[in-house]
Structure 1
Amino acid sequence: MGHGYATEAARAVIERAFGLGLPEVYAVVRPGNERSVAVCRRLGMTPLGRMCRWYDVELEAFRLIAPAVVV
């Protein structure tokens, strides 16, 4: 329990998304799934509150904006 695999996998997905030029990444979590909420927090994602925007069900939404690239 709690080996960090979910966080590690999510970090890889985020790095890939930002590497492809996506400006932001969203995560949605079923209310009450505290372990998934903790992963989002560890990743530095911003909580957006509960929304019914995805999958026709109320979910906790999180967003991470790509870091600015300094040249």
Structure 2
Amino acid sequence: MRDKATGALGTYVADMPGLAQQTRVYDEYLTRLRDVPGAEIGYLAVGIVGPRNRVDKLVHRLPLLP
């Protein structure tokens, strides 16, 4: 879902990597994130923002936050 949303025209994807929950200092987070290959980043959440019809198509009509 994240990969499709990243490539969708008019959508913005906001990621919440697991590393963000494991560190308390932003510089440490950036350093640790830099050491992990992109394909191996574990995500706890992904926010998708955009026109409702495009978001619905990407998430297959999952309930959305108002």
Q: TM-score band (shorter)?
A: under 0.3
Higher relative contact order (CA 8 A, sep 6+): 2
Q: Max radius of gyration: which structure? A: 2
Structure number with higher helix proportion: 2
* TM-score using structure 2 length: 0.26
